[in-house]
Structure 1
């Protein structure tokens, strides 16, 4: 299972200053610690606003390659307004520091705030989702899957949102040809992809199957549910000790409109994404088109499904066919 970030609150730090690429950064505190990185708040000096540093140590060639890949993807995506800007990459021997602007919160924290007393603005949240789809669509254009799309990896400040953490990104497609492939990629999925957002095929990695960027589309569907319902669709199963792997095989069991009224249009969009067979899910381009269409027609009255035919209409229809 992928190691989640652990918030460190306001833990003070006495680590040395970070110097390089024209920056002299004083570490103010450690914000969070993950499986392979530490997130720190730093002071850039000169009266400038605090910034954030992601610290990673490359103990192996594979770790170094993954760090350099993450940096390369930030550069490829630097013109996307929904991807955070990498301000600097500072290297000290095997230690790498990635410098970013600081945002007020991540989307998971925002969701937790809404749970306490806020209301879901469905249209606004769909627009947020549209931005994330835009970022992932460009990433998929480079034949990479993000592999760890989740609200905690979306930063928010006001109405500005930014996708972050491309450290799990993986080249796609991946063919599972042998038992060794099966074990290696199943372990990779457990390490790189948070369980609650993991696509069904990532739990199995069956021999003869092919992993594609459709894994991200599934994660986006889970995120959209969470954007609108303020909880993960598999939370109750997880809290009860059930198998998330099995739950993803039965998305038709997901509950709708138990506590919140969400439009049928949005519900149908999520249902069109959370499909077990990855080949039946929309591509990221098709998903963007679906979202654009939903936003463009959001205020259009919903058509009733299977309207009941009156006796008069039935009799008239029968007379017209005879």
Structure 2
């Protein structure tokens, strides 16, 4: 790569001879940390994602995430500014320098609306959702699936343009399962990498002979749309109560009667959240429906509960 990156005593990192000041910690997960840094010369903010690689397999997974970022140049997919692997305290870390989105995640925006007792206007839902679909379409067209679409993996810029992030769960869109051992392996992988309340039904109990394809993302996308409309995912409360999400996803999703959005948006939601993956639409169809809804009801507004 020809890139060097080091943490210096004065609180800045150097990437390709460009200095970035450390500003503050942003987030922390099981195997990764995200810090806010500022470019010394350009004054722009960036997010530095540090992935802890505990073994060779961990390093390979981090490398795959880097390659997934590099594969795409799309306005609705988070770009990669720079990257490298560093040794710190005898352990390897993968460092990914990413653009910083000041508005935060879609989830954080929905939380703020919920705290105010407000709902997101349908026009805004359609605008954001269209961008999410456009990014996902680019991923599917390259023969890959994201596998972890959820509101916290969608970032928004100041103009509400969404970008998909966290490419660590991405893999080939079409996976042919041959036998119970392969089925259990994929099921275990999904349990680790695909967020339970947004996970497609076919990933909970993988059949011994089947094909898993990119329509797992369509289910998750439906959960995201539901969350934008209701400010919580359809299975969030079930998971929080400790009940079985695997059992709950076997039944059709229920849209509350109190939902005040258009019938067109409700129909779109129901069409994606179909238990049988063979009956789910592809991303191109979903994107077409969103565009049709935008043209039919450009001024639809729903603001208050």
- Corresponding residue for 2:61? 66
Deviation (angstroms), 1:287 = 1.4
Instruction: Name the SS of the counterpart of 2:97 in structure 1.
Output: strand
CA gap of 1:299–1:59, structure 2 versus 1, over 3 A, is: closer
- Cα RMSD of the aligned pairs, angstroms, is 2.2
Query: Structure 1, residues 254-275: CA drift from partner, whole Å, max 9, x if none?
Result: 23232x4011100000000000
- Matches of residues 1-322 of structure 1 in structure 2 within 5 Å? 17-46=12-41, 48-78=43-73, 80-93=74-87, 94-104=92-102, 105-117=104-116, 118-158=118-158, 159-252=160-253, 254-258=254-258, 260-298=259-297
Q: TM-score, normalised by structure 2?
A: 0.87
Q: Is the 8 A contact 2:119 2:229 kept in 1?
A: no
In 1, Cα distance between equivalents of 2:298 and 2:77: 29
Deviation (angstroms), 1:160 = 2.4
In 2, Cα distance between equivalents of 1:154 and 1:188: 22
In 2, Cα distance between equivalents of 1:240 and 1:108: 20
In 2, Cα distance between equivalents of 1:119 and 1:203: 31
Deviation (angstroms), 1:47 = 6.4
In 2, Cα distance between equivalents of 1:146 and 1:47: 32
Deviation (angstroms), 1:43 = 2.9
- For structure 1, the 5+ residue unaligned runs are 1-13, 302-322
CA gap of 1:102–1:157, structure 2 versus 1, over 3 A, is: same
Instruction: Name the SS of the counterpart of 1:148 in structure 2.
Output: coil
- Corresponding residue for 2:3? none
Deviation (angstroms), 1:300 = 10
In 2, Cα distance between equivalents of 1:25 and 1:40: 11
Greater than 6 Å deviation, 4+ residue runs: none
Q: Is the 8 A contact 1:19 1:90 kept in 2?
A: no
Query: Structure 1, residues 150-198: CA drift from partner, whole Å, max 9, x if none?
Result: 1101111222221111111011211222222122111110111101100
Q: Is the 8 A contact 2:219 2:272 kept in 1?
A: yes
Query: Structure 1, residues 295-322: CA drift from partner, whole Å, max 9, x if none?
Result: 2222599xxxxxxxxxxxxxxxxxxxxx
Deviation (angstroms), 1:72 = 1.9
Deviation (angstroms), 1:216 = 0.4
Deviation (angstroms), 1:22 = 2.8
Q: Is the 8 A contact 2:80 2:98 kept in 1?
A: yes
- For structure 2, the 5+ residue unaligned runs are 1-8, 301-305
Q: Is the 8 A contact 2:19 2:41 kept in 1?
A: no
Q: Comparing 101-110 with 43-52, which one deviates more in the overlay?
A: 43-52
Structure ID, larger Rg: 1
